[in-house]
Structure 1
Amino acid sequence: MIRLAYDFAEQAHQGQARKSGEPYIEHPLQTAITLAKMGLDQDTIIAGLLHDVPEDTKFNLVDVEKNFGPEVANLVAGITKLGIIKYRGIEKYAENLRKMFISMAQDIRIILIKMADRLHNLKTLKYLPPEKQKRIAQESLEIYASIANRLGMGQIKGEIEDLAFPYVLPEEYRWMKEEILPKIELKMEHVEQVIKTIRKELAKNRIQIVSIHGRPKRLYSLYKKLIKPHYNRDVSKIYDLVATRIIVTSVADCYKVLGILHQLWKPLPGRIKDYIAQPKPNGYQSLHTTIFGPEGKIVELQIRTNKMHEQAEYGIAAHWHYKEWDKKNKKIAGKGYTPPEKLKWIQDLVNWQKEIQDSQQYLTSLTVDVFKNRIFVLTPKGDVIDLPEEATPVDFAYHVHTYIGDHCSGSRINGQIASLDTVLKNGDVVEIITDKNRKAPSRDWLKFAKTQAARGKIRNRARNH
């Protein structure tokens, strides 16, 4: 069936060429290959091959449906409707983003095809005029990389960022290439020695290894870390320039490996993180530790199973590979369907974008709720709550439950009493103190509440009292 779709697309795009001069079919083919690498289903791969057919050829959606069925036609229609998001005036831009989130809610695979499409477009940016290069790269960083991050797609997010980086910040990119890359290469040599020792030790303990490899930190991600005040562009303060990934067959082996590594080398205090017992909100799982390795050099190690590895690389797409996704799950906006916690934010977006008519306000809300870096904080019971950076206890309270938000009177952060406008940090344990006699939230909270969920509810309640 995929072969038939390729032949159909090749015939449809016959005689068309890309700006690079290569035959047009190369673009849908590369899009489909990316989707296949993500482990997606046949219909999605076929839709990847056909995604430009209705817009750029004499064939239409009726032809697609007749040849490949309604499911493929719906996916292709979703991509066609999405069109191109462009910074062409704030109204149009906001409208296009609204469309994107509605299409994600209708079938999450639409955004995955769009990601694969964007990835190949970024690889061929050099053939476009400079102003177009910058616009597409900027939009990729701000929108597509952010959404990939929220969907837990580490591999796709990293590729998008690194491909866009030289076009958005050419000077900074040059500095990273000339000053920082050589240091990463040096570190890589040291990590190879560490890997040899680990292999021997795990073989001795009869631990089955799927793979061990060194992974250099992605350039853009490293750049973002380096410019934080704490690091002040000093690369010697960063321990995970090259992380060593150890992939094993079971969760039990992950913990065994951690024990073996800590017998071999002394761990750095405060650097052991158990994301298996406490996954990140986007589903990421792994054990992290940082050790004083051979010659006292510091090395970061990540231990996970193969399933966790695929989840970390491809996020939501990995569910298809493990058959965890049935027909009803694709449609987040389906009637009576409760989305998994990690996708609830898409449904929330669709719900509150109906409420916000003003485009500027909508974009401001998006900037906070989707495109800002995320932190995760904990309830006293250890549940993970995913919030944007600079969120406060009020945002936390409304995320947990509207009643708790409306009746909150104070908070404890890590056991200490804290005011409601305190900025939360990654890993904080937050407890909300409520007052059942409280009639309504205070309008003053709007001065520091960040999320649309909190701000919308405060406005509504304050208006009614």
Structure 2
Amino acid sequence: MSVSVINNEQERLEILRQYKRLIEVWHTRKNTQDKWLVRKAFRLAADAHKDMRRKSGEPFILHPISVAIIAAKDIGLGRTSIISALLHDTIEDTEMRLEDIGNQFGKEVANIIDGLTKINEISISNSTAQAETIKKLLFTLSDDVRVILIKLADRVHNMRTLESLPRDKQLRVVSETQYIYAPLAFRLGLYAIKSELEELSFKYSQPKLYNEIQGNIQSSEEDRLLSFNVLKKVLTNELKKINCDVDIRLNVKTAYSIWQKMRKQEISFENIYNKYSIDIILNGETTDEKLICWSAYSIITNIYRSNSNRLRDWISTPKANGYEAIHTTIMNPYGKWVDVHIRSKRMDEIANKGYAAYWKYKELGKIDTSLENWLNRTRLLLEENDENTFDFIRDFRSNLFSDEIFVFTPAGKMMNMAAGATVLDFAYAIHTDIGNQCIGANISHRIAPLGYKLSSGDQVEIITSKIQSPSEEWFKYVVTARAKSRITDAIKQARKKYKSDGRKKLSDYFKQLNIEDNKISLNKLKTAINVKSSVNLYYYVAQKMIGLKEIKEVMQPGESRLGWIKNLRIPFTRSKLETNGSEIEQESNNPKPQKNEQYISDFTSLDYIVSDCCNPLPGDNVMGLVFPNEPIQIHQTTCEDAIRLMSQHGKNIVKAKWKQKAGITFLAGINIKAADNQGIMQEIIGVISGEFKINTRSFHLDAHEGIANIDVTIYVSSTSILKKLMAKLKKVSSIIKITRLDKI
């Protein structure tokens, strides 16, 4: 952030206008004392940030005000949260101390702001400040969930103003948002915030594709409004029969959600039928919300034909994030299917404001307990956790996506478990010792193995043995973070007894290879073989799973390996502040780099590898990740592994663009679904090798019930060549569908 005193009268008026807007959108209880405290916090924040500006050039104070507006308006938070939002950057960016805030506004506000403050890079080791800050933030769920809610408001505003940041920092923020914050918003029931975070992430990670889909959405607006207005008129009139206020809204699907459907269903924009939905919000005097909603459903489906396969009853069994509604699909007068969501006013408030609305209605006894059950399980996970930071974030994230089932102990006690939970997950949910000694379970008088997936209603009796102990294979049998953490602990304890023997053998190997026996060599070896802990490394050495040969290959690689890396290096260059000629392809929709950015100019000495998790090709949007003693990894910007790594190692991101070089080809994969006709292989090979002169590495065909499933790996120079090939193959009469494979 830059420093510049606010002396522009127009800026002063804008700051006051935004503060006034904050007071207007603050709808929770606000007496004279509340307003005075918020005004005091605003003045304190304005004074603390008076000499600061954001990257966009606007006064910095507009950011905390905007965060407070989102917290109040979109989440429905009250006085304490608004004060915390206004002051959330003061400890990190100004001379103000946490003690000062506590003295003026109380311990509660100070604790929230402490939870929102980033961890200093200097204070940590074996991790990154980025990852440790995320972990610290997630741990606040066990104390005060408002920290997370304010952080989500902060993230929304940062995403809205992301345009002013350079590309590498954009990718860092986007990856965090995709990997942690959007899923967390969804789990806390903040659907509107989740959708906006996903949409903005898509906009900055895939700008060309985003603009293309957004353009298609806008071009179909006229037809969409015509269809909606016809339905609204009919439904408004018919729903008067249930004697309640009815609000009928048009909900247009986001570009991101449409793109996800296009990818998942492998179809074009034109072939997606549900580009919008209709929300019907009912507000009646009767307390029986379910009766009102089902009455509305009955009226609607009596008028319009419905698809019974698309009926979803989230009223009888709410989602784990507290969401309640009836979902159905009807055919409109123009012969098009339309999704309809029916819910009460209370259900709608929870759907949009999530956790904050949840507690409001819980006090009135009008709430399902599914969200609270998830929070309780999460708090238990946090209290018992002792994993390293990266493993913790990975396991916590997996916990965000799980729905719930309920199972019973032999005594009849009901326990909520994540959907997909196994016998072994259940054993660890009861007690760590029971999990460690589990050999199976008795379910409905049948013996079930460790990996048996439980179903709602199962009554489970765990069978144990004192001679049983966890092994690495057990990770295949569990889905819950708690079970994974307990298995990791047990294996770690069992392997510690091999530490001395393994350490001695490793020292001998280093001595034979004339390698210095120090921490640098040890870390280099662990990184190269992807072993995170020294305990595991010593165990593998002691058990002769890693020997002299393997260590030599890693620590003293031969020329053949170096040559392989050099061949992969040629097509890449990293963006520089100044370039000559047309050597580097420029992207017109990316902001120009700031003058203070640091770049390495000696690219010929750098090693690059094309990551096999996404197999990028020239023409794909790519980025690089650089780690000590490793070649730079090149990933597609949409790669799930890259998103995970960027969310935790943001400072390791480097910008990468393709530099075309004649004669260089890359491995690509395509999957073909075709009628299993005689000669289909010859037709495909004829197009690939004959017409396009493309070399094929492998061709694998499986046929079942007249359908051939064919995986082909080929060498191509760019995505444009691959697209032309796929377009040509689609014209082969026997071919039903063809898609690109990211993982080969």
1:214 aligns with 2:250: yes
Give 1:244's aligned residue.
Answer: 278
Q: 2:46 maps to what in 1?
A: 10
Residue 331 of structure 1: aligned partner: none
Does 436-445 or 27-36 show the bigger shift?
436-445
Distance in 1 between the 2:94 and 2:465 partners? 62
- Amino acid of the structure 2 residue aligned with 1:246: I
From 199, 212, 229, the equivalent of 1:192 is 229
Secondary structure in 1 aligned to 2:168? helix
SS in 1 for 2:334: helix
The aligned counterpart of 2:507 is none
Q: Give the counterpart of 1:451 among 473, 480, 484.
A: 480
Aligned equivalent of 2:372, options 340, 343, 351: 340
Is residue 301 from structure 1 mapped to residue 329 from structure 2 by the alignment? no
Question: Between Structure 1 and Structure 2, how many residues are aligned?
Answer: 432
Q: What SS does the corresponding residue of 1:107 show, helix, strand or coil?
A: coil
* Corresponding residue number in structure 2 for 1:283: 322
Question: Which deviates further from its counterpart, 107-116 or 13-22?
Answer: 13-22
Match of 1:168 in 2: 205
**Cα distance in 1 for residues equivalent to 2:481 and 2:87:** 37
Q: Counterpart of 2:309 in 1: which secondary structure?
A: coil
Please give the alpha-carbon distance, in whole angstroms, between the structure 2 residues aligned to 1:173 and 1:185: 20
Asked if 2 retains the 8 angstrom alpha-carbon contact of 1:82 and 1:96, the reply is: yes
The CA distance in 2 between the partners of 1:196 and 1:375, in whole Å, is: 37
Match of 2:133, SS?
A: helix
Distance 1:257 1:43 in 2: 39
Which structure shows the bigger proportion of residues in helix conformation? 1
Question: What is aligned with 1:369?
Answer: 399
Question: Structure 1 437/377 Cα, relative in aligned 2: closer, same or farther at 3 Å?
Answer: closer
When residues 51 and 442 of structure 1 are mapped into structure 2, their CA distance, relative to the original with a 3 A threshold, is closer
Post-superposition offset of 1:301: 0.9
In structure 1, what residue type is equivalent to 2:72?
Answer: A
**Paired letter, 1:257:** A
CA distance in 2, matches of 1:170, 1:97: 26
Partner of 1:133: 170
1:266-313: CA deviation from partner (whole Å, max 9, x where unpaired): 220222111111000111111111112223321111111111111111
Query: Normalising by the residue count of structure 1, what TM-score does the alignment of the two structures yield?
Result: 0.81
The 5-angstrom pairing of residues 249-260 of structure 1 reads: 249-250=283-284, 251=289, 252-260=291-299
294-303 vs 96-105, which moves further: 96-105
- Choose which of 149, 170, 191 in structure 1 pairs with 2:186: 149
Kindly provide the amino acid, as one letter, of the partner of residue 281 in structure 1.
Answer: A
Contact 2:283 2:344 in 1 (8 A): yes
Cα drift, residue 83 of structure 1:
7.3
Matched, 1:266 2:305: yes
What does 1:85-164 align with in structure 2 at a 5 Å threshold?
90-164=127-201
- RMSD (CA atoms): 3.5
Structure 2 stretches of 5 or more lacking a match? 1-35, 365-370, 495-744
- Return the match for 2:418 from 378, 387, 390: 387
For 1:125-161, what per-residue CA distance to the aligned partner results, in whole angstroms no more than 9, with x for missing partners?
1111111111111111111111111211111111111
Cα separation, 1, equivalents of 2:114 and 2:423: 40
User: CA separation in 1, counterparts of 2:138 and 2:171?
Assistant: 24
For 1:60-103, what per-residue CA distance to the aligned partner results, in whole angstroms no more than 9, with x for missing partners? 3333233323322222222125679xxx9844444223211222
Taking the aligned partners of 1:396 and 1:240, their CA distance within structure 2 comes to 37
CA apart distance, 1:430: 6.9
C-alpha contact (below 8 Å) 1:10/1:25 kept by paired residues: yes
Q: TM-score, normalised by structure 2?
A: 0.52
Residue aligned with 2:277, SS = strand
**Rg (Cα) greater in structure:** 2
Mapped to 2, the partners of 1:244 and 1:99 lie a distance apart of: 39
Instruction: Give the letter for the 1:196 counterpart.
Output: K
How much has 1:217 moved relative to structure 2?
1.6
Q: 1:214 to 1:33 in 2, by over 3 A?
A: same
Q: For residue 267 of structure 1, give the secondary structure of its aligned residue in structure 2.
A: coil
Q: Deviations over 1:18-39 (max 9, x none)?
A: 2212211111111111111122
Distance in 1 between the 2:360 and 2:390 partners? 39
Counterparts of 2:136 and 2:460, CA distance in 1: 39
Moved more, 139-148 or 360-369: 360-369
The DSSP-based 3-state class of the residue aligned with 1:202 is helix
Q: Judging changes above 3 Å, is the alpha-carbon distance between structure 1 residues 436 and 183 closer, same or farther for their aligned structure 2 residues? A: same
| Counterparts of 2:354 and 2:128, CA distance in 1 | 31
- Residues 112-121 or 341-350, more deviating: 341-350
> 1:171: Cα distance to partner?
3.5
Sort the Cα spacing of 1:386 and 1:147 in 2 relative to 1 into closer, same or farther, 3 A: farther
Q: Compared with structure 1, are the counterparts of its residues 184 and 224 closer, same or farther at alpha carbon in structure 2 (3 Å cutoff)? A: farther
Per-residue CA distance 1:309-329 (angstroms, 9 max, x = gap): 11111211223544749xxxx
* CA–CA separation in structure 1 for the residues paired with 2:140 and 2:214: 38
With 162-171 and 53-62 compared, the bigger mean Cα shift is at: 53-62
Contact 1:246 1:303 in 2 (8 A): yes
Contact residue 281 and residue 348 of structure 2 kept, 8 A: yes
Query: Partners of 1:188 and 1:451 in 2: how far apart?
Result: 45
Structure with more relative contact order (C-alpha pairs < 8 Å, separation 6 or more): 1
Q: Secondary structure at the match of 2:281?
A: strand
- Output the CA distance in 2 between the equivalents of 1:186 and 1:170: 26
Distance in structure 2 (CA, Å) of the matches to 1:93 and 1:48 = 21
Aligned position for 2:266: 232
Supply the AA of the counterpart residue of 2:335. Answer: G
Shift of 1:411: 7.0
Percent identity for Structure 1 against Structure 2:
32
Higher mean displacement: 50-59 or 441-450: 441-450
Secondary structure of the structure 2 residue equivalent to 1:281: coil
Q: Does 1:32 align with 2:32?
A: no
Gaps of 5+ in 1: 326-338
Equivalent residue in structure 2 for 1:21, among 11, 33, 57: 57
Alignment CA distance shift 1:184-1:105 (3 Å): farther
Are 2:114 and 1:77 equivalent residues in the alignment? Answer: yes
- Pick closer, same or farther for the CA change 1:171–1:55 going to 2, 3 Å: same
Q: Secondary structure at the match of 1:8?
A: helix
Following the alignment from structure 1 to structure 2, what is the Cα–Cα distance between the partners of residues 91 and 317?
A: 31
Asked if the contact 1:247–1:306 (Cα under 8 Å) also holds between the matched residues in 2, the reply is yes
From 339, 353, 357, the equivalent of 2:385 is 353
- 398 and 303 in structure 1: CA distance in 2 versus 1, 3 angstrom threshold: farther
CA distances 1:180-218 after superposition (whole Å, capped 9, x unpaired): 553466334312221111101112x15322421010122
Name the residue aligned to 2:506. Answer: none
Q: Please give the alpha-carbon distance, in whole angstroms, between the structure 1 residues aligned to 2:479 and 2:126.
A: 25
Distance 1:384 1:255 in 2: 30
Q: Kindly indicate whether the alpha-carbon contact (under 8 Å) linking 1:393 and 1:430 is maintained by their aligned counterparts in 2.
A: no
